[in-house]
Amino acid sequence: MSTALVTDLTIFVLALLIGIEVIGKVPATLHTPLMSAANSIHGIVLVGALLIGVTSHTVVGYVLAFVASFFAAANVVGGYAVTGRMLKMFRRKAQPAQPAAALADGAAQSQAPAQRQTPVPSEPNQRS
């Protein structure tokens, strides 16, 4: 077993342990964004796809590089975009500015991300 392989394996095992430690602390509320975030992180395979380009000089190589780049880029960009979109929806307080009737259509609402970003100032809690 080469030194490089031992190093790689060490890194793998330690990263696995760190992952278990860090991810175990994520609350269930965020499990969908977590999975989506993990999804975008495995898009790092884009780096591997790009590196195919270094040595590919044949049609087969080019085709593999193209498909791999396409897949990995879709994974990275889509993953981060959708994670961001989801996390933007998690807010501490309901937005009083938005009338409840406007909530009826989810699709229309998600098309207007700008207005949802508005920070809500600390207003008195309605329950108290």
Partner 1 sequence: MDSFTTNIQLVYVLAAACFVYGLHLMNSPATARRGNQVSMAGMAIAVIVTLVLLIHDGSVTGVGWTVIIVGALLGSAVGLHAARTVQMTAMPQLVSMFNAVGGGAAALVAVYGYIHDESAPGGVLGSTTVFTVLDVIIGSVTFTGSLIAAGKLQGLITGQPVIFKGGRALNAALAVIAVGAAAFMLTTASLPALLIVVLASLAFGVMMVLPIGGADMPVVISLLNAFTGTAVAMAGFVIGNWALIVAGALVGASGGILTKLMADAMNRSLANIIIGGFGTGDTAVAAAVAGDAQVRAIAADDAAIQLAYASKVIIVPGYGLAAAQAQHGVAELAAVLESHGIEVTYAIHPVAGRMPGHMNVLLAEANVPYPQLREMEEINPEFARADVALVIGANDVTNPAARRPGSAISGMPILDVDQAKSIIVVKRSMGTGYAGIDNELYANPKTSMYFADAKRAVAELTAAVKTLVG
Instruction: For the segment 14-73, give every residue that binds partner 1 (CB under 8 A).
Output: 15-20, 22-57, 60-62, 64-73
For residue 28, the minimal CB distance to partner 1 (Å) is 5
For residue 10, the minimal CB distance to partner 1 (Å) is 10
d(CA 30, CA 114): 22
d(CA 38, CA 108): 28
For residue 66, the minimal CB distance to partner 1 (Å) is 4
Q: Is 81 in the site for partner 1 (CB under 8 A)?
A: yes
For residue 43, the minimal CB distance to partner 1 (Å) is 6
Tokens of 27: 């609350």
- H-only helix segments in the chain: 3-23, 31-41, 45-55, 59-89, 106-110, 113-117
Q: Is 115 in the site for partner 1 (CB under 8 A)?
A: no
d(CA 20, CA 16): 6
Q: Is 93 in the site for partner 1 (CB under 8 A)?
A: yes
Q: Is 3 in the site for partner 1 (CB under 8 A)?
A: no
Count of residues engaged in binding partner 1, rule: CB under 8 A: 97
Q: Is 108 in the site for partner 1 (CB under 8 A)?
A: no
d(CA 108, CA 44): 33
Q: Is 77 in the site for partner 1 (CB under 8 A)?
A: yes
Tokens of 83: 């994670």
